[in-house]
């Protein structure tokens, strides 16, 4: 029997948010406290500059925080980079690794991503690993092959299943308003679930599989109802508590 997975609704703020936007984090925290997310866990990954202040706001709260990237090393001469240990120290529980924007903007390879995921585990963080195919790969029918290869090459060997979240984010759906069909998402997530059996320590059924890419209040029901979808990684619609709230509420009646 499949294990019960607690859904995760996570916001990726990307390079958005200044001190004034901590009000949104406080509002999300209050929504979580009021039970708006039902059975789901909720996390926000703000820019690193806001992490410590956000952690102060979220002390005694069930709202979790995450970083958006980390360096593979625990410290050292890496100007501008942030170690997983620093994210943990600042109050993060999660770190996103392998986001397609990092892969594109910083030429991150699967090997880089694997080293970052290993660093996250070393630091005591849980990993949100992003995978996803480009538009050209999608149109060529290569989505499963691409994502399968990313998974195989980006996961540290024997990663504990309960410390791993996979976010399937087709690049062509990120920030475009275009979304895959529910059938496409279900097929990809079913494939991911099967593939994970070769890669994780513990039961692959414990790994949460998130869908990400243009999730909005108006399409959350359609997208999150796909089979094997255990939550979502939300970009633009996570920046304002009032837009994030209806997405969290998907899980309030389950």
* DSSP-derived secondary structure letter, 100: H
- According to DSSP, the β-strands at 200-201 and 94-97 are unpaired
- Is 12 a residue that touches ligand 13P (CB under 6 A)? yes
Q: CA 247, CA 9: separation in Å to the nearest integer?
A: 8
Span near ligand 13P by CB under 6 A; candidates 69-77, 104-112, 136-144, 231-239: 231-239
Q: How far is the CB of 136 from ligand 13P (least distance, A)?
A: 18
Q: CA 16, CA 209: separation in Å to the nearest integer?
A: 25
- Is 209 a residue that touches ligand 13P (CB under 6 A)? no
Joined together, the tokens standing for residue 84 give 């997983």
Which position has the token pair 């090459």? Answer: 153
Q: How far is the CB of 213 from ligand 13P (least distance, A)?
A: 5
Task: Kindly provide the b/e burial profile for residues 75-94, where b requires at least 16 CB atoms within 10 angstroms of the residue's own CB.
Answer: eeeeeeebbbbbbbebbbbb
- Is 214 a residue that touches ligand 13P (CB under 6 A)? yes
Span near ligand 13P by CB under 6 A; candidates 1-9, 33-41, 87-95, 227-235: 227-235
Closer of 55 and 234 to ligand 13P (Cβ) = 234
Selected from 55, 233, 241, 245, the binder of ligand 13P by CB under 6 A is 233
- Is 195 a residue that touches ligand 13P (CB under 6 A)? no
Binding mask 23-62 for ligand 13P (x = CB under 6 A): ----------------------------------------
Find the helix packing angle between 22-33 and 241-248, rounded to 10°.
30
Closer of 13 and 85 to ligand 13P (Cβ) = 13
Span near ligand 13P by CB under 6 A; candidates 23-31, 72-80, 212-220, 245-253: 212-220
Closer of 200 and 234 to ligand 13P (Cβ) = 234
Closer of 168 and 251 to ligand 13P (Cβ) = 168
Could you report how far apart the first and last alpha carbons of the chain are, in Å? 19
Closer of 85 and 211 to ligand 13P (Cβ) = 211
Tally of CB atoms within 10 A around 55: 18
68, 96 contact by CB (below 8 A): yes
Handedness of CA 223, 225, 228, 234 (dihedral sign): positive
Tally of CB atoms within 10 A around 122: 15
Site for ligand 13P in 121-180 (CB under 6 A): 169, 174-175
- Is 215 a residue that touches ligand 13P (CB under 6 A)? yes
Question: Active-site residue numbers?
Answer: 99, 169
166, 207 contact by CB (below 8 A): yes
Length of the chain: 254
Selected from 46, 98, 212, 231, the binder of ligand 13P by CB under 6 A is 212
Binding site for ligand 13P (CB under 6 A): 12, 99, 169, 174-175, 212-215, 233-237
């Amino acid at each position: 029997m499949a294990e019960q997975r607690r859904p995760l609704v996570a916001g990726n703020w990307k390079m958005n948010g200044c001190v004034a936007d901590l009000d949104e984090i406080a509002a999300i925290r209050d929504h979580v406290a009021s039970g708006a997310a039902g059975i789901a866990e909720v996390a926000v990954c703000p820019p690193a500059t806001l992490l410590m202040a956000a952690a102060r706001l979220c002390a005694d709260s069930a709202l979790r925080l995450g970083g958006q990237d980390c360096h593979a090393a625990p410290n050292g001469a890496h100007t501008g980079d942030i170690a997983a240990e620093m994210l943990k120290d600042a109050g993060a529980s999660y770190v996103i690794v392998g986001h397609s924007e990092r892969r594109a903007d910083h030429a991150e390879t699967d090997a880089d991503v694997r080293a970052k995921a290993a660093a996250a585990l070393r630091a005591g963080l849980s990993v949100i690993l992003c995978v996803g195919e480009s538009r050209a790969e999608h149109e060529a029918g290569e989505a499963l092959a691409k994502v399968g290869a990313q998974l195989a090459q980006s996961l540290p060997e024997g990663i504990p299943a309960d410390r791993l979240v996979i976010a399937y984010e087709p690049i062509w759906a990120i920030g475009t308003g275009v979304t895959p069909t529910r059938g496409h998402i279900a097929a990809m997530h079913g494939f991911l679930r099967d593939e994970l059996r070769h890669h994780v320590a513990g039961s692959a059924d414990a790994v949460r599989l998130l869908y990400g890419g243009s999730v909005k209040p108006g399409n959350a029901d359609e997208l999150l109802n796909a089979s094997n979808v255990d939550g979502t990684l939300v970009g633009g619609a996570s920046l304002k508590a009032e837009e994030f709230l209806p997405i969290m509420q998907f899980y309030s009646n389950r």
